[in-house]
Amino acid sequence: MRRFEWPVRVYYEDTDAGGVVYYANYLKYLERGRTEWLRHLGFGQEQLMRDSGIVFAVRHVEIDYLVPARFDDALVVQVEIAALSKVSITFHQRLLRTPDRVLTEAKVKVVCLDKEKFRPVAIPVDIREAIDAHQ
C-alpha cells in the first residue's frame, strides 16, 4: 500500500520534565496514525465494532527510538503495510519531525478479533478490498 501520513503535534502533556516525549507516548502517536489510516480507507473503529462486530488489537510491537521528539514539535506519522494475512496486518511505521528527520521506527502487528469472543477472525472482505484499491 502507498504510504499514509498523519500530522501530530507534541503537547506539554506528552513530555517529561525535560521537555522530551515520554517513551510510551510514541505508541499513542503510532496508534493515531493507524486509526486515521483506517478512517481514510472508509472505516471508523466504532462503525467496525457496531456493524462488523470486530476490533483490531495490537499483538506485537518492535520499536526503535532514534532521536527524541520534544515539546511543540510538528511530527508526521507514516503508515505502510508490511504484511497482510487472513487475520492480521503488520505495519511499518515511522515518526518524523517534519520534513524528513526519522525519530522512531516501528513494526506493529494487529489482529482482527471478534469483539465479543476476543478470538481471531478473518479481516472483512470490504476492508481487504479497500486496502487493495489503495495500493
Active site amino acids: 16
CA 16, 19, 22, 23 dihedral sign is: negative
Q: How many CB atoms lie within 10 A of CB 107?
A: 15
Spatial separation of the C-alpha atoms in residues 124 and 87, rounded to whole Å: 9
- Bridge partners of 108, per DSSP, are 61, 91
Per-residue HEC secondary structure of 50-118 comes to: HHHCEEEEEEEEEEEECCCCECCCEEEEEEEEEEECCCEEEEEEEEEECCCEEEEEEEEEEEEEECCCC
